[in-house]
Amino acid sequence: MTRPARMHDVTDETRHIVDLVLNYSRQRLLTDDNPLDKPLPPAELARLAGVTINEKGIGAQKALGVFEHVLAPACITTDDPRYLSFIPSAPSKAAAAFDLVVSASALYGGSWLEGAGAVHAENEVLRWLAGEFGLPATAGGVFVQGGTLGNLSALVAARETARERGIRPDRWRVVCSAEAHSSIASAARVMDVEVVTVAPDAGGVLHGDAVRTALEEHGDSVFAVVATAGSTNFGIVDDIASVAEVTRELGVWLHVDGAYGLAAALSPEARHYFAGLEHADSLIVDPHKWLFAPFDACALLYRDPELGRRAHTQHAEYLDTLTETSDWSPSDFAAHLTRRARGLPLWFSLATYGAEVYREAITASITLAEQIAAEIESRDELELVRRPQLSVVVFERRGWDKADYTTWSNRLLDDQHAFVTPSSHGGRTNARFAILNPRTRFEDLVGILNTMG
């Protein structure tokens, strides 16, 4: 009978497996022209992959072969410079490589007791971000899975803080822009609270006067206001300064959802958009978006981390050794317990390259967005929907309907030219470039425009 420890012993088989995986990873990391790839229908994928799980195993070489030649090609390469849909990911080579180290080191990132070194490094990044965003030196937080969990955790802390103040409305409410990210509505469903949406101006910007009206109407039932620092659909930044003025005056928690766009505050070219950010009670930014880290990482910061701790610390007898100390345990600051040290790849990349390289890469994307917007405006058959603030460019092809955009998008992917999915605004279908990858070139974007006829 095969010993169960076979999976964990260092044997010749183990060395072979590790070599296979590391060699594949090295090749993938050091190749800049990996294919864009595309999904396959379920039946076709099942036919090609075959049965890979059985009692005896198929061996590492065959399993890796199935992944390399069947499974991976059925996944779109999110760090391809022509991946321009949704919000791409473009991890630096250092960050992607170090992600292997995090797993290989068997690190646990939930408590100071078990992962002090990892937590220290993550906290250095969080303190740096807090300083860049104007928060006090005492600010802090945690890296969580993504923006949805970050927004949820911040809003839970906001409501618990309101409860501690003795507020007990019949119905809790959160105020946000009508163009806020869908994760705010998702968090509200989980929390069983009501979302009060406020109309932004014609340019998509939420202002303080509109927020004031909502707060005056709903009173103490509003436990938080959410401002968006870079909307996903357009990359628009709310008027954080005027919103913050109102929330400070009325004593309401201000949360800033900067999952995509807040990274632009690191660029001298865009920092002015984020005036007032220093007054946020909590905020998020996703390093796996515009800070060049691998999936999945969202930095959640609190002005007063103790409010996050009080809202989220889990209590159980087996956890007493953790919760009865004042140690900084990341599990205490969000709606999670077990966590990997997901902030370490960003720490390694920042420590390796320095912050200046990050500022330059972010600025380059903003500049490229402005350049392609000007190109779009110069073409009679195209129309810019809104001028870009950050790095999202939304435009229409005159005379096209939804079917035309879908056919065009499918052809781009089938031809391995680019991944650009249709979007919409105000009931009208449009095209959208989300430009985050430093390897995306002006010529790439022009080539895509040329395919629109």
The pLDDT value given to residue 4:
66
Same domain, 315 and 366: no
Q: Is the bond preceding 404 in cis, omega lying within 30 degrees of 0?
A: no
Same domain, 163 and 143: yes
Same domain, 421 and 343: no
pLDDT, mean of residues 35-57: 97
In a domain, 86, yes or no: no
Q: CATH number for the domain including 157?
A: 3.40.640.10
Residue 324: pLDDT above 60? Answer: yes
In a domain, 88, yes or no: no
β-sheet with 298-302: strand ranges across: 140-144, 298-302, 282-285, 253-257, 222-228, 173-177, 194-198
Same domain, 125 and 46: no
Q: Looking at the 3D structure of the chain, how many domains does it have?
A: 3
Same domain, 134 and 266: yes
Where residue 235 falls (left for φ over 0; alpha for ψ -120 to 50; beta otherwise) is left
Residue 401: pLDDT above 90? Answer: yes
- The answer to whether 126 touches 141, Cβ cutoff 8 Å, is yes
pLDDT, mean of residues 38-49: 98
* Phi, psi (rounded to 5 degrees) for 241: -60, -45
Q: Which domain holds residue 368?
A: 355-450
Same domain, 128 and 252: yes
**Residue 331 token pair:** 């599990």
pLDDT, mean of residues 426-431: 96
Q: How far apart are CA 3 and CA 1, in angstroms?
A: 6
Residue 256's pLDDT band, with cuts at 50, 70 and 90, is: very high
Same domain, 61 and 116: no
Residue 239: pLDDT above 90? Answer: yes
Concatenate the DSSP letters of all residues of 63-91 into one string.
Answer: HHHHIIIIIGGGS--TTSTTB-SSS----
The pLDDT value given to residue 323:
85
Same domain, 341 and 284: yes
275's CB contacts (< 8 A; 6+ apart) are 240, 241
Same domain, 343 and 414: no
* Phi, psi (rounded to 5 degrees) for 260: -90, -55
Same domain, 213 and 161: yes
Same domain, 196 and 250: yes
Percentage of the chain exceeding pLDDT 70: 99
Answering whether pTM is above 0.85, one says yes
β-sheet with 382-386: strand ranges across: 382-386, 392-397, 428-434, 423-425
**Residue 20 token pair:** 């296979």
In a domain, 83, yes or no: no
In a domain, 196, yes or no: yes
Same domain, 201 and 287: yes
Q: What is the mean pLDDT of the chain?
A: 96
